[in-house]
């Protein structure tokens, strides 16, 4: 089994997330992609977030029509800050033991990985697929990362990928640009603007019915 792990705040989930996951799934022939909403994202600590139950429900609605997409409550169920090392260990050692794991992450977020808790212990556990954000062309997945991260990888000229000495790999995938962000959606709702066609209509309806994002977050 080839499994994708796609973490995020998903506040709310939008077409940018869904289309990225679909392009990664297709390019890497993944059997399943888990969307993993964070409870308390370490890099967004202190920021007001929509309650986890609402973000989780919106992710459920967003992925509902794709049989290869599913939601994981592992971070929401775990108390405290949502560190990726704990999540990846959970999948590698319990839920998906024996599968090939691919952690999906945007180029901007991966550039910060050297600041993540126990980052060096993550790389032997799973492969990484670093994806472009709108405006990025083709790039090295290591762009913007610290030397402590770079020194862990070698470039394999035959396979044209970066490899870790434990055998895992690091890839870059250029996605179709879809310049939508959750913060932009929240801002539009706050200003009373339309959010139609930026996310599945079921998610849009959830936002309206629950009065989300009316005040500044
Ligand atoms: P915010 O605007 O609140 O920071 P966001 O829209 O960037 O949120 P997150 O939940 O923080 O969404 O992102 C989860 C993952 O999805 C990250 O790896 C991020 O790089 C990626 N991502 C988000 N929006 C897009 C997009 N439009 N295209 C490609 N990848 C995206």
Q: What is the pLDDT along the chain (217 residues), one digit of tens a residue?
A: 999 999 999 999 999 999 999 999 999 999 999 999 999 988 877 777 899 999 999 999 999 999 999 999 999 999 999 999 999 999 999 888 899 999 999 999 999 999 999 999 999 999 999 999 888 778 899 999 999 999 999 999 998 899 998 999 999 999 999 999 999 999 999 999 999 999 999 999 999 999 999 976 5
Contact call for residues 82 and 118 (beta carbons, < 8 A)? no
pLDDT at 145: 95
Which residue owns the Cα nearest ligand 1 atom 17? 106
pTM: 0.95
189 assigned to some structural domain: no
SS (H, E, C) 43-102: HHCCCCCCCHHHHHHHHHHHHCCCCCEEECCHHHHCCCCCCHHHHHHHHHHHHCCCCEEE
Which residue owns the Cα nearest ligand 1 atom 14? 8
Which residue owns the Cα nearest ligand 1 atom 21? 106
Which residue owns the Cα nearest ligand 1 atom 27? 16
195 assigned to some structural domain: no
pLDDT at 43: 82
212 assigned to some structural domain: no
pLDDT at 170: 97
pLDDT at 151: 95
Name the residue range of residue 139's domain: 2-180
**Residues framing ligand 1 (Cβ under 6 A):** 8-11, 16-17, 20, 105-106, 108-109, 131, 133-134, 175, 178, 180-183
pLDDT at 96: 86
**How remote is the CA of residue 158 from the centroid of ligand 1, in Å?**
32
85 assigned to some structural domain: yes
Q: What radius of gyration, in Å, describes the C-alpha atoms of the chain?
A: 17
186 assigned to some structural domain: no
pLDDT at 135: 82
206 assigned to some structural domain: no
Atom of ligand 1 nearest to the CA of 9: 10
Give Cα separations from 39 to 60, 114, 131, 151, 204 (angstroms).
15, 21, 23, 31, 21
210 assigned to some structural domain: no
**How remote is the CA of residue 108 from the centroid of ligand 1, in Å?**
9
**Count of domains observed in the chain:** 1
- Burial classification of residue 214, based on how many CB atoms lie within 10 Å of its CB (0-12 exposed, 13-18 middle, 19 or more buried): exposed
pLDDT at 216: 61
Which residue owns the Cα nearest ligand 1 atom 19? 106
217 assigned to some structural domain: no
Give 27's DSSP letter.
Answer: H
Atom of ligand 1 nearest to the CA of 38: 10
Residues 6+ apart with CB under 8 A from 62: 10, 13, 17, 18, 35, 199, 200, 202, 203
Q: What is the CATH number of the domain that holds 127?
A: 3.40.50.620
């Amino acid at each position: 089994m080839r499994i994708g792990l796609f973490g995020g705040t998903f506040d709310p989930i939008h077409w940018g997330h869904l289309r990225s996951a679909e392009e990664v799934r297709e390019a890497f022939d993944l059997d399943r992609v888990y969307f993993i909403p964070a409870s308390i994202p370490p890099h967004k600590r202190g920021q007001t977030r929509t309650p986890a139950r609402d973000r989780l429900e919106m992710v459920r609605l967003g992925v509902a029509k794709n049989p290869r997409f599913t939601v994981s409550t592992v971070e929401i169920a775990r108390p405290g800050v949502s560190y990726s090392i704990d999540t990846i260990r959970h999948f590698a050692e319990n839920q998906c033991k024996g599968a090939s794991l691919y952690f999906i992450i945007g180029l901007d977020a991966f550039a910060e990985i050297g600041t993540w808790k126990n980052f060096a212990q993550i790389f032997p556990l799973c492969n990484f697929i670093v994806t472009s954000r709108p405006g990025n062309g083709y790039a090295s997945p290591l762009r913007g990362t610290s030397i402590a991260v770079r020194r862990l990888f070698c470039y394999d000229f035959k396979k044209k990928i970066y490899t870790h000495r434990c055998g895992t790999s690091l890839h870059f995938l250029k996605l179709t640009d879809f310049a939508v962000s959750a913060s932009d959606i929240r801002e539009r709702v706050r200003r009373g603007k339309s959010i139609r066609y930026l996310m599945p209509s079921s998610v849009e309806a959830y936002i309206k019915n629950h009065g989300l994002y009316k005040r500044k977050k």
